[in-house]
Structure 1
Amino acid sequence: MKNRFNLIIFDWDGTLSNSIDWIVGCLQKAAARCHCPVPEPDSARQVIGLSIDRAIETLFPDADAPTRKWLIECYTAEYRARELDRDDLFPGVYDMLVQLQDAGYRLAVATGKTRRGLDRALHATDTKELFCITRCADETASKPDPGMLKEIIRYADIAPERALMVGDTVHDLQMAENARISSVAVACGAHPESLLQRYRPLQCLQQPTELLKFI
């Protein structure tokens, strides 16, 4: 993989940020508050990476539109109740991003978070200036649609074969496949390595900082 890529596109939750357990807990608390069946942790993990609208629709297929709206509001309130800081990143991630930028790579984020949610996380972790562009699910189609990757690649003005997607869910890897770009999986997030390997990533890392060994 040495010198193969110019642009590295990261998912956020479960890839750069150690936030999966928090998201699962927020989804469960929202379900309880809205008198809906509380999802098992594995079920909640499966929808992480999707837009919140699509995640709620998938988790609660029998809920009507007002209940889904209520679920989203409760989830959002629960999630925003927690103060964020750089310690929410996986160990070594901030330094990894700095090293990659210093080495000449352009960095980007493609996430299922809302713009408001990502901006809050970027500010709290002091990482905003490390990325040339970020795209969120409320600005374009939800993963695994390739829309946000295509927008990032177009903005960066590079050939798709020079871009790499790094993510922790099948939604990330499917999105990369749909955009016809290469991917690397990380197994520290929402989905297990056995599931990620089905999508034939170039590597499946146990921690995101292992990316430095392959770039």
Structure 2
Amino acid sequence: MKLAVFDCDGTLVDGQADVCWAMARAFARAGLPAPTDHAVRRIVGLSLPAAVRALAPALSDEQNHAVTEFYRSSFRARREEGLLDEPLYDGIAEMLRALHAGGWQLAVATGKSDRGLAACLASHGSADLFVSLQTADRHPSKPHPAMLEAALFEAGANAQEAVMIGDTSFDMAMARSIGVAAIGVEWGYHQPAELIASGAARVVATAADLAAALEETLP
């Protein structure tokens, strides 16, 4: 058994433009000053309520809920209008297919919603590659390990048979907390030094480097 569990935004796909747009729109609709794009990119990977809380900790629960719901409706409308742009990073499609063909089990653990993840994977024709899809709809926000634990359970793997791949310190800390090896990618939203400090065994620069690192981690 070899299980590779991937984060989505910032690891498999680059959806930062839409995330920043939807967050700015949500804050504006709630009558609140919008966070900077840099601040928004820093919280990608958290569940939506936790992300809004991190961006604006002084908001009341009611305000947090309003921003969260405005974000969801804005993002959903953008998808339904065909305006959403979540391209796969270079080499990711080929790497996923090669890992799958080589006997790896693949899973996703993401701060996206069930609907958002399903739509994203379907748009790239890759949903059939994954044995487990874990989202923030059914789990506490990262770095809580619940979604990673669920991926292990559904794949029938133990912690020593799995690797977590992500672009944020949230992913690395989640993996470290339950003894899963972690590999960081440098094309996402947190810096390599942060990933190493949070538990990454290594940080890779390309999809090809990631494939090689996975084989070295679980030969």
Instruction: With the length of structure 1 as denominator, give the TM-score of the two structures.
Output: 0.91
Instruction: Specify the alignment match of 2:126 in structure 1.
Output: 127
Instruction: Specify the alignment match of 1:33 in structure 2.
Output: 29
Instruction: Specify the alignment match of 1:90 in structure 2.
Output: 89
Displacement after TM superposition at 1:73 (Å):
2.1
State the distance in 2 between where 1:148 and 1:211 align.
22
Displacement after TM superposition at 1:87 (Å):
6.7
C-alpha contact 2:6 2:166 (8 A) present in aligned 1 = yes
C-alpha contact 1:86 1:124 (8 A) present in aligned 2 = no
State the SS of the aligned residue for 1:9. strand
State the SS of the aligned residue for 2:65. helix
State the distance in 1 between where 2:103 and 2:28 align.
47
State the distance in 2 between where 1:29 and 1:208 align.
33
Superposition CA RMSD, Å: 1.9
State the distance in 2 between where 1:172 and 1:210 align.
19
Structure 1 stretches (4+) deviating beyond 6 angstroms?
A: 84-87
Which deviates more, 22-31 or 133-142? 22-31
Instruction: Specify the alignment match of 2:162 in structure 1.
Output: 163
Which deviates more, 77-86 or 155-164? 77-86
Instruction: Specify the alignment match of 1:54 in structure 2.
Output: 50
C-alpha contact 1:85 1:125 (8 A) present in aligned 2 = no
Which deviates more, 162-171 or 41-50? 41-50
Paired letter, 2:67:
L
Identity of aligned residues (%): 31
Paired letter, 1:104:
G
Displacement after TM superposition at 1:84 (Å):
7.2
Displacement after TM superposition at 1:115 (Å):
0.8
Paired letter, 1:168:
D
Quickly say closer, same or farther: Cα 1:21–1:209, change in 2 above 3 A: farther
Instruction: With the length of structure 2 as denominator, give the TM-score of the two structures.
Output: 0.89
C-alpha contact 2:46 2:170 (8 A) present in aligned 1 = yes
State the distance in 2 between where 1:133 and 1:84 align.
27
Displacement after TM superposition at 1:137 (Å):
0.9
Alignment of 1:1-215 (within 5 A): 6-80=2-76, 81-82=78-79, 83=82, 88-214=87-213, 215=215
Cα distance per residue 1:121-140 (max 9 Å; x no partner): 12111111000111001111
Displacement after TM superposition at 1:98 (Å):
0.5
Quickly say closer, same or farther: Cα 1:156–1:75, change in 2 above 3 A: same
C-alpha contact 1:84 1:121 (8 A) present in aligned 2 = no
State the distance in 1 between where 2:183 and 2:208 align.
12
State the distance in 2 between where 1:108 and 1:84 align.
27
Long gaps (5+) in structure 1: none
Cα distance per residue 1:47-73 (max 9 Å; x no partner): 111100111122122222332222112
Long gaps (5+) in structure 2: none
State the distance in 2 between where 1:103 and 1:54 align.
37
